[in-house]
């Protein structure tokens, strides 16, 4: 139980992501102090603003928005979830696959947020899309693992994933702009699920294709072997 809650030893990959997120948040604070707390140009430039992406083609925002956060609590809970569920996935998958999944789900979550409100001026920031994707992956791979909800209530990961997905869905339909960030949460889960299932389908296709090739080679060998046997029998008769 203990290791499931705390995520086990921290991997270099997860450490690097946490350090990067914390560093960018400190940069956010420094820029806000220098430019004034009401000046949001930095967040508007690196955060995901659907209207800006649509009309100014600011496609870098699909990546950079993941490293900005609204508050220290927003940052803390995202990084805590990343630590709890990311370390074991990083150890199992290895760094390349883990980072590929992390950024695919994060970028995919941003694209989902943009698609549902392409002319919105709201700014979406935070690593929540990628983090929800990691939570989904952990739930798929270890559905019966026990974690503690709110540090108190034991719950299986599969039920936690369903609960958080349901909350994100209900929150996403409460309003046009207010639901955009929750769409990112759902988008991270959806893209993560499709990515994992796509990997399964690819593996099944490879297995099927290999079996088909073996059957073809087997039939070719049987034909060739049959021809050789017939030739040998004819030579013996002669």
125-156 pLDDT, tens digit each: 999 899 999 999 999 888 888 877 666 778 88
What confidence category does residue 13 fall into, taking pLDDT thresholds of 50, 70 and 90?
very high
pLDDT tier at 3, thresholds 50, 70, 90: very low
pLDDT in tens, 46-67: 999 999 999 999 999 999 999 9
Closest CA to 74 of 133, 138, 126, 13: 126
**What pLDDT sits at residue 200?**
60
Domain range annotation of the chain: 2-200
**pLDDT-based confidence at 159, cuts 50/70/90?**
confident
**R_g of the chain, CA atoms, integer Å:** 25
pTM of the model: 0.78
Is the torsion defined by CA of 79, 31, 181, 112 positive or negative? negative
Please report the pLDDT score of residue 177 as a whole number: 46
Residue 68 is predicted with a pLDDT of 93
Q: Using pLDDT thresholds of 50, 70 and 90, give the confidence band for residue 176.
A: very low
For 187-220, the pLDDT digits (tens) are 899 999 999 988 665 555 455 566 767 766 666 6
Q: How many CA atoms lie within 13 A of 137 on its CB side?
A: 33
- What angle, rounded to 10 degrees, do the helices at 12-35 and 72-93 form? 160
pLDDT of residue 60: 95
Residues sharing a CB contact under 8 Å with residue 190, sequence separation 6 or more, in sequence order: 108, 112
What is the model's pLDDT at position 207?
A: 57
Q: Check residue 2 and give its pLDDT.
A: 40
CATH of region 2-200, choose from 1.20.1540.10, 2.40.40.20, 3.40.50.300, 1.25.40.10: 1.20.1540.10
Q: What is the pLDDT of residues 81-134, one digit of tens each?
A: 899 899 999 999 999 999 999 999 999 999 998 998 898 888 899 998 999 999
Pairing of strands 146-149, 153-156: antiparallel
Residue 10, Ramachandran bin (φ over 0: left; ψ between -120 and 50: alpha; else beta): beta
Task: Supply the pLDDT for residue 220.
Answer: 64
14-54: pLDDT as tens digits:
999 999 999 999 999 998 888 876 677 888 899 999 999 99
pLDDT over 60 (residue 229)? yes
Question: pLDDT-derived band of residue 161, with 50, 70 and 90 as boundaries?
Answer: confident
């Amino acid at each position: 139980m203990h290791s499931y809650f705390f995520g086990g030893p921290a991997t270099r990959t997860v450490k690097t992501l946490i350090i990067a997120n914390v560093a960018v948040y400190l940069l956010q604070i420094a820029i806000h102090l220098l430019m004034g707390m009401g000046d949001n140009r930095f967040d508007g430039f690196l955060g995901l603003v659907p209207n800006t992406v649509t009309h100014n083609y600011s496609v870098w925002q699909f990546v950079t928005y993941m490293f900005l956060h609204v508050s220290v609590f927003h940052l803390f809970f995202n990084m805590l979830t990343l630590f709890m569920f990311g370390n074991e996935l990083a150890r199992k998958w290895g760094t390349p696959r883990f980072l590929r999944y992390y950024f695919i789900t994060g970028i995919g979550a941003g694209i989902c947020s943009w698609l549902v409100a392409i002319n919105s001026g709201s700014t979406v920031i935070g690593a929540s899309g990628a983090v929800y994707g990691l939570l989904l992956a952990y739930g798929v791979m270890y559905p019966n693992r026990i974690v503690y909800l709110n540090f108190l209530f034991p719950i299986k990961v599969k039920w936690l994933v369903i609960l958080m997905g349901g909350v994100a869905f209900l929150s996403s339909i409460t309003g046009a702009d207010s639901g955009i960030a929750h769409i990112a949460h759902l988008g991270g889960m959806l893209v993560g699920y499709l990515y994992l299932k796509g990997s399964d389908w690819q593996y099944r296709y490879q297995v099927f294709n290999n079996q088909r090739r073996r059957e073809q080679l087997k039939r070719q060998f049987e034909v060739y072997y049959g021809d050789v046997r017939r030739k040998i029998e004819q030579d013996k008769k002669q």
